[in-house]
Structure 1
Amino acid sequence: MAPDPKDAQNPVVGPAPRYFTWDEVAQRCGREERWLVIERKVYNISEFVHRHPGGSRVISHYAGQDATDPFVAFHINKSLVSKYMNSLLIGELSPEQPSFEPTKNKELTDDFRELRTSVEQMGLMKANHTFFLLCLLHILLIDVAAWLTLWFFGTSFLPFLLCAVLLSVAQVQAGWLQHDFGHLSVFSTSTWNHLLHYFTIGHMKGAPASWWNHMHFQHHAKPNCFRKDPDVNMHPFLFALGKVLSVELGKQKKKYMPYNHQHKYFFLIGPPALLPLYFQWYIFYFIVKRKKWVDFAWMITFYIRFALTYGPLLGLKGLLGLFFVVRFLESNWFVWVTQMNHIPMHIDHDRNRDWVSTQLQATCNVHKSFFNDWFSGHLNFQIEHHLFPRMPRHNYHKVAPLVRSLCAKHGIPYQSKPLLSALADIVHSLKESGQLWLDAYLHQ
């Protein structure tokens, strides 16, 4: 049947798009209703947060805000993810609405997005697989050397101690490597990154990948933001962190701990205790509560391997002693390295600033050297890592001069320190914020 010419004159028109203002979006940030904006499109994530592969909290931290830059930063296949998001799309910003919220720096964001495009064109988001293979091999060699030390020299004090040190090195370096896979920075597809992440964190370290994702991506989404970054949620129960939060705590007359002495007791309940006294039991609580049985299976292979490897040489008491000595040594290394880039920096509530400002105010670098790169798993380039979380770590030093130029253009401090200075600044900042708390507590 021939088409009716009237139909051509009156084509079917779909429903007009719904338009929203930034104020309307900002109001949808509670538990009942959550919206966010990506490239001017408005999405209702109220139900989706519970199905979000990265966890409900990390996406909820951007409820009521523009999430364009974190969306680009975290997702390896943005076109595929965008298809799944079509069902969440409820409208877009009104044409008269600016593309940026009032709290965000448009010029800085535009320049950063140009830089990100240049970085991708330069191939800096592509990994050198040989580099990561060598990282894995050197960890395995150290792990084998630890066992050979006991097998060849016996189980007296010195061989036992040397074995524990070697195992601690292997555990820390495995921690840096699982971090690479967790950030999807090694392979071009999520599948291989996830598989190797299960292997490195589950089988090599005995921890759940889902727990790491849950904690670490919140940290990257809102670094040093109280109640959004798990790494600073020790405030106020153990430490008074940052100048702003410490003064607030003092004004509220809250004293959970003698914070003016926190730079001293940090050496007791900070680096030595985090892994053996907290993380070690919490990871099992996490997987049981959330029913992460795949993670549980990978973890169990680590504990079985450890028991079968060292049990015959040391017996049960020696086995448990070695395990907790390794966790103690690893914990000290891990905490000092991970906190030297963040604790001395600005810590505050979420002020909904742009991506670059949010990351730069919360991070600093440690000077490049072969030892510093190895010792920290290249997390001495914390600024570059936070701006480009999926970038392979061996490319951080290549993008660093470009980031430094961007910061200089916009008058943003770009801090890089010697290693020992960065470690000392943790203690100095704790002492300073503790004194600020005490002054506010006594006089305001």
Structure 2
Amino acid sequence: MTVAPAAGRRHGSDFAELSRSIKQAGLLRRRHGYYVVKSALTVASFAGTWVMFGYLGDSWWQLGTAALLVVVCTQLSFLGHDAGHKQIFRGRRANDAMGFAHAGLVGLSYGWWIGKHNRHHANPNHEDDDPDLDIPVLAFTEHQGGTKRGLLRWMAKYQAFLFFPLLLLEGLNLHWASIQAVWRGEVKQRHLEKALLAAHVGGYLAAVFLVLSPLTAIVFILVHQGLWGVYMGCSFAPNHKGMPTTSDGHTWDFLRKQVLTSRNVHGGRWVDFTLGGLNYQIEHHLFPSMPRPNLRRAQPIVRDFCAARGISYSQCGLFHSYGQVLRHLHEVGAPLRATPR
């Protein structure tokens, strides 16, 4: 659903009032202890998984190692995300050091990811300005669907059925987009990121092909990268897909723009861990620098604040959120399926 421009009274003071409540609750204070433990355990798990990989040797049991790496790499990506939002330290330099380190272990360009992600935060679900809506193989609005031609048009028709299979390619897409951005000089720390990406690709391929036979190595890479793409896609897709989209001229203030285009996912601490805190998407978009463990405490404050002002606050279970995403994609593709060409 696209929100058309509309006249109305602006509520510029609402977010300031909410911010005061959040600050008074101490929810913007850094949680250094949490991140030290979280990062240490995650990096140790990453190292331990590769030790297990070396111990198992050339065996099909390594597909279990690949699945374990999927979880560890996604958790490393979540920590890089937090660093990019300055959730870990106050200063940019220390957060960037953490971000580069964690992104380097996964094989992503930290500078490319943060630049893209910050544009998304500034323009959530905006048809023209949100890079997360600019995905050639999918259409998130009827306008986008109408611009598709050839194979992309056919894919948009049946995108609800293709969505999860396409996520199998998302991991490779993230790696390739990172390499392109670095080699084109689209990131500030180009030489550092070149070295990190080269070290990751070289070390990863060397380890896999030295330990495993060629066939097992190829299957290992396909399983690892494919499932990592699915995990990453399933972590970010519930946050905005299927929520209202905006275009130039909308009159929402910052508070409403962030809340009305975002969806929370409830489900307890296992969902908090699985989605890396992204399940508190509304609170995260309102306060991007809020440390991840504080988002759970901020949620009832934000929810009650929105309820008191009649602002729709979207929240559902994890599997229900995927259902909403698929229904939205199916509805967007409906006009294309009704057209013979």
TM-score, normalization: structure 1?
A: 0.69
Answering whether residue 261 of structure 2 is matched by residue 261 of structure 1, we say no
Aligned equivalents of 1:249 and 1:299: distance in 2? 35
**2:15, 2:254 within 8 Å by CA — same for their partners in 1?**
no
**2:99, 2:110 within 8 Å by CA — same for their partners in 1?**
yes
**1:112, 1:406 within 8 Å by CA — same for their partners in 2?**
no
Answering whether residue 41 of structure 2 is matched by residue 138 of structure 1, we say yes
Aligned equivalents of 2:143 and 2:54: distance in 1? 55
Aligned residue number for residue 255 of structure 2: 356
- Which amino acid in 2 is paired with 1:221? A
TM-superposition CA deviations, 1:208-241 (whole Å, max 9, x none): 111012210111000111121111112xx42231
**2:112, 2:181 within 8 Å by CA — same for their partners in 1?**
yes
Aligned equivalents of 2:148 and 2:69: distance in 1? 45
- Which amino acid in 1 is paired with 2:127? F
Aligned residue number for residue 340 of structure 1: 238
Deviation at 1:321, TM superposition (A): 4.2
Distance 1:117 1:104, change over 3 A: farther
- Which gives a bigger RCO, structure 1 or 2 (Cα 8 Å, sep 6+)? 2
Aligned residue number for residue 127 of structure 2: 226
Aligned residue number for residue 175 of structure 2: 280
- Which amino acid in 1 is paired with 2:50? W
TM-superposition CA deviations, 1:297-339 (whole Å, max 9, x none): 2222323443454443225665454334211110001111201
Aligned equivalents of 2:89 and 2:270: distance in 1? 26
Aligned residue number for residue 106 of structure 1: 10
Aligned equivalents of 1:185 and 1:146: distance in 2? 27
Unaligned runs of 5+ in 2: none
**2:76, 2:106 within 8 Å by CA — same for their partners in 1?**
yes
Deviation at 1:119, TM superposition (A): 1.7
Deviation at 1:164, TM superposition (A): 0.2
The match for 2:65 among 144, 153, 163 is 163
- Which amino acid in 2 is paired with 1:142? S
Distance 1:436 1:406, change over 3 A: farther
Aligned residue number for residue 200 of structure 1: 102
Aligned residue number for residue 296 of structure 1: 194
Aligned equivalents of 2:67 and 2:125: distance in 1? 32
Aligned residue number for residue 117 of structure 1: 20
Aligned residue number for residue 425 of structure 1: 324
Q: Give the alignment of 1:31-430 within 5 angstroms.
A: 105-107=9-11, 109-157=12-60, 159-202=61-104, 204-234=105-135, 237-241=136-140, 245-246=141-142, 249-250=145-146, 256-258=152-154, 259-269=156-166, 271-276=167-172, 278-290=173-185, 292-307=190-205, 309-314=207-212, 318-352=216-250, 353-430=252-329
Deviation at 1:351, TM superposition (A): 3.5
Aligned equivalents of 1:401 and 1:294: distance in 2? 41
Aligned equivalents of 1:105 and 1:220: distance in 2? 23
Aligned equivalents of 2:335 and 2:164: distance in 1? 20
Aligned equivalents of 1:102 and 1:393: distance in 2? 35
Deviation at 1:133, TM superposition (A): 1.8
Distance 1:103 1:301, change over 3 A: farther
Q: Which has the higher helix share?
A: 2
- Which amino acid in 1 is paired with 2:93? T
Distance 1:375 1:152, change over 3 A: same
- Which is higher, the Rg of structure 1 or of structure 2? 1
Deviation at 1:182, TM superposition (A): 0.6
Deviation at 1:401, TM superposition (A): 1.2
- Which amino acid in 2 is paired with 1:283? S
Aligned equivalents of 1:304 and 1:254: distance in 2? 38
TM-superposition CA deviations, 1:113-141 (whole Å, max 9, x none): 12113322332112211211222122223
TM-score, normalization: structure 2?
A: 0.88
Specify the SS of the correspondent of 2:87. Answer: coil
Distance 1:136 1:104, change over 3 A: farther
- Which amino acid in 1 is paired with 2:238? M
TM-superposition CA deviations, 1:169-191 (whole Å, max 9, x none): 11110111100001111101111
- Which amino acid in 2 is paired with 1:299? L
- Which amino acid in 1 is paired with 2:131? P
Distance 1:308 1:253, change over 3 A: closer
Specify the SS of the correspondent of 2:137. Answer: coil
Deviation at 1:104, TM superposition (A): 6.8
**2:239, 2:281 within 8 Å by CA — same for their partners in 1?**
yes
Deviation at 1:249, TM superposition (A): 4.7
**1:142, 1:166 within 8 Å by CA — same for their partners in 2?**
no
**2:108, 2:178 within 8 Å by CA — same for their partners in 1?**
yes
**2:70, 2:228 within 8 Å by CA — same for their partners in 1?**
yes
